[in-house]
Amino acid sequence: MPKKMPAPKRRSGCPLNASVEMLGDRWSLLILRDMMLRGYQTFNEFLHSDEKIATNILADRLRTLESYGIIGTRQDPTDGRKMIYTLTAKGIDLAPVLTEMVLWAARHEQTGNQPLVRQMRTGKEQLLADVRQRWAQKHRLLISSHRVRPSVRRPQAAAPPKDPG
């Protein structure tokens, strides 16, 4: 039986604090947006998003999201050097949160993408159901192919010492 990962050290036990520590930067939220709404799955797709994230920040945020179990990774079957990033069940549960953040910003600020905002206002439940359905279809395919790496990193056993002879 795999060992359970120790709980991360947090500044406090407040649930909002835990959320902020996991998702409290704009890049993580934009990566999740791109996964949920645009279907992005590769480093290159995220890199060419409108906000122009730097490669080092993108790599760091993807590792962080994976370490918290929000996304999972697997090798690209067509190119073993590339990774495919997918939302986990924990990650897809953030869809209503991101939707409410979009609606809040559109209510209080001048924002773009008004067609999406209108869709969220008039058919939020259907939009969320569609996002979940697309995720479930992808997730079933990944599970059936057994190619998903665990989304929570486990400590690796130390490598055996090299034979000096």
- Kindly indicate the confidence band of residue 139, based on its pLDDT and cuts at 50, 70 and 90: confident
| Predicted pLDDT of residue 151 | 47
- Top pLDDT among 83 and 144 is at 83
First to last CA, the chain: 35
User: Which pLDDT band, with edges at 50, 70 and 90, does 138 fall under?
Assistant: confident
User: What is the per-residue pLDDT for 156?
Assistant: 41
65, part of any domain: yes
CATH at 131: 1.10.10.10
Per-residue tokens: 155: 């400590």
Residue 157 falls within a domain, yes or no?
A: no
Q: Please choose, from the candidates 128, 55, 134, 139, the residue with its C-alpha nearest in 3D space to the C-alpha of residue 94.
A: 128
Q: For 96-102, what is the mean pLDDT? A: 95
Residue 49 lies in a domain: yes
Task: Tell whether the model's pLDDT for residue 155 goes beyond 80.
Answer: no
pLDDT, tens only, 100-127: 999 999 999 999 999 999 999 999 999 9
DSSP at 25: S
pLDDT at 126 (0 to 100): 94
Q: Residue 11 has what pLDDT?
A: 80
Q: Please state the φ and ψ torsions of residue 113, each to the nearest 5 degrees.
A: 50, 50
Identify the CA nearest to 59 among candidates 82, 43, 42, 73. Answer: 43
Q: What does the alpha-carbon distance between residue 147 and residue 165 come to, in Å, rounded to a whole number?
A: 38
Tens digits of residue pLDDT in 53-82: 999 999 999 999 999 999 999 998 889 899
pTM of the model: 0.78
**Does residue 2 form part of some domain?**
no
Q: What pLDDT, on a 0 to 100 scale, did the predictor assign at position 80?
A: 87
* 153 belongs to a structural domain: no
In whole numbers, what is the pLDDT of the chain averaged over residues? 84
pLDDT tier, 91 (very low <50, low <70, confident <90, very high otherwise): very high
Provide the domain count of the chain: 1
- Per the domain annotation, does 123 fall within a domain? yes
Unique residue bearing structure tokens 């069940």: 89
- pLDDT reading at 32 higher than 80: yes
**Domain annotation covers residue 100:** yes
The pLDDT of residue 121 is 94
For residues 95 and 136, the answer to whether their CB atoms sit within 8 Å is no
Q: Which structural domain range is residue 94 located in?
A: 23-145
Residue 13 lies in a domain: no
